[in-house]
Structure 1
Amino acid sequence: MISMIRIDDRLIHGQVAVMWSKQLGVSRILVASDKIAANDMQVNALKMAAPAGIKAFVLPIQKAADLINDPRAASMKILVLSNNPKDIYEVLQKINEKPLLNLANYGRIGGEPLSEKQKLTETVYVTNEDKEIFNKIFNMGYDFEYQPLPSDAKQSLKELLGGK
Structure 2
Amino acid sequence: MTMDIRLARIDSRLLHGQVATVWTKTVTPNRILVVSDKVAKDNLRKSLITQAAPPGVKANVITIKKMLAIYTDPRFDVFKTLLLTENAQDMAALVKGGIDLSKIGINVGSLAYQDGMATLTDAVAVDQTEAKALRYLASDAGLKVTIQKVPGDRQIDVLPLLDKNQL
Q: Same fold (TM over 0.5)?
A: yes
Q: Distance in 1 between matches of 2:71 and 2:44?
A: 24
Superposed, which structure 2 residues align to 1:54-93 within 5 Å? 54-93=57-96
> Is the 8 Å Cα contact of residues 28 and 79 (structure 1) preserved in structure 2?
yes
Where do 4+ consecutive residues of structure 1 move more than 4 Å?
A: none
Identity %: 31
What amino acid is the match of 1:160?
A: L
- Name stretches of at least 5 consecutive residues in structure 1 with no aligned partner: none
User: What is the Cα deviation at residue 33 of structure 1?
Assistant: 0.5
Partner residue in 1 for 2:125: 125
For this pair of structures, how many residues does the alignment match? 158
- Name stretches of at least 5 consecutive residues in structure 2 with no aligned partner: none
Partner residue in 1 for 2:136: 136
Partner residue in 1 for 2:149: 148
Superposed, which structure 2 residues align to 1:1-164 within 5 Å? 1-98=4-101, 99-108=104-113, 112-113=114-115, 116-138=116-138, 139-162=140-163
* SS of aligned partner of 1:137: helix
User: What is the Cα deviation at residue 97 of structure 1?
Assistant: 2.2
Residue by residue over 1:76-116, the C-alpha shift from the partner in whole angstroms, topping out at 9 and shown as x without a partner, is 210110111111111111234224210021032xxx41xx1
> Is the 8 Å Cα contact of residues 118 and 126 (structure 2) preserved in structure 1?
yes
* TM value normalised by structure 1: 0.90
* TM value normalised by structure 2: 0.89
* SS of aligned partner of 2:44: helix
User: What is the Cα deviation at residue 144 of structure 1?
Assistant: 1.2
